[in-house]
Amino acid sequence: MLVVKELQVYYGKTRALSSISLEVKQGEVVAVVGRNGAGKTTLIKTIMGVVRASRGRIIFEDRDITTLPPWDRAKLGLGYIPEGRRLFPYLTVEENLVLGGYNINSKQELRQRLEEVYSLFPRLRERRKQLARTLSGGEAQMLAIARALVAKPKLLLMDEPSQGLAPVIVDEIFRKIAELKKTGQSILLVEQNVKKALEVADRIYVLETGRVVLEASPEEALRNPLVRKAYLGR
């Protein structure tokens, strides 16, 4: 579904990503993990088109999208949940969700999509008339995920969904990710919480200073001394 080949990104003269290659197959949850500053967010922004690639190629469903703007990538089926949620704070929950379906022309189809995300996140149905700014951190993250899902993306790009949340809320968010996985939703998950990422991922890539230093299954990663020592404290 997604193939990234030899991707390089520079911020000025500073190289942020160095020859990164990865892939996501249909129905997979692939996690990219690493410490702060490893290049995870730069990677996902580049795949979405928010950051420009200096070298390399991004192939989505056999189409080269390396130079496409973000909105065209969204039309092709890439859904993006940015770091920090990036909600519209003075719009209601439902207005945020409707904006997620901006390219849906049928009111009936939009209503069906809203019902689908309300079924996945019942709390959002309860809060649908509230302003987004009044939500708790966990509710805001659920809204960010739901807003992306309204457009029925073929591939969902998630950037640090656990960031800034209490452990009990992180557990709830990852239960929702596991539910999405069961539906066949393809996901590229960028996450600092390696333990939680390993629970839902089919494969993981470990990034350090803009390079992939390990590609492994969760089982292989759990046995890897680098992962155990650096990320799991074992």
> Is there a contact between 112 and 189 (Cβ–Cβ < 8 Å)?
no
* 102 three-class SS: coil
Per-residue pLDDT tens for 120-175?
Answer: 999 999 999 999 999 998 899 999 999 999 999 999 999 999 888 889 989 999 99
User: What's the mean pLDDT when you consider all of the chain?
Assistant: 92
Q: How does pLDDT run across 176-214, given as a tens digit for each residue?
A: 999 999 999 999 999 988 899 999 999 999 999 999 999
Q: Please check the confidence at residue 18 and state whether its pLDDT lies above 90.
A: yes
φ, ψ at 144 (rounded to 5°)? -60, -40
Element (H, E) at 82: none
Which strands, in side-by-side order, build the sheet including 2-11? 14-24, 2-11, 55-60, 63-64
pLDDT at 230 over 90: no
Query: What was the pLDDT predicted at 42?
Result: 95
Ranges 71-75, 89-93, 159-163: which has the least confidence: 159-163
Q: Is the pLDDT assigned to residue 55 strictly greater than 90?
A: yes
- pLDDT at res. 157: 97
Q: What is the 3-state secondary structure (H, E, C) of 145-213?
A: HHHHHCCCCCEEEEECCCCCCCHHHHHHHHHHHHHHHHCCCEEEEEECCHHHHHHHCCEEEEEECCEEE
Using CA atoms, how far apart are residues 88 and 200, in angstroms rounded to an integer? 29
CB 122 within 8 A of CB 27: no
With a CB cutoff of 8 Å and minimum separation 6, the contacts of 50 are: 70
Helix H or strand E segment including 111: helix 107-120
With 70 as the cut, is the pLDDT of residue 233 above it?
no
The mean pLDDT of 87-110, rounded to a whole number, is 91
Partners of residue 33 on adjacent β-strands: 191, 206
Taking the C-alpha atoms of residue 44 and residue 207, their distance in angstroms, rounded to an integer, is: 12
Measured at the CA of 88, the angle between CA 84 and CA 92, to 5 degrees, comes to 125
- pLDDT of 116 strictly over 80: yes
Domains contained in the chain, CATH given: 2-230 (3.40.50.300)
What gap in Å lies between CA 230 and CA 149, rounded to an integer?
Answer: 33
Q: How far, in Å, CA of 19 to CA of 99, rounded?
A: 35
pLDDT for res 227? 82
What average pLDDT score do residues 80-85 get?
86
Q: What is the pLDDT of residue 234?
A: 55
* Alpha-carbon distance values, 18 to 5, 36, 39, 192, 224 (Å): 11, 16, 9, 19, 23
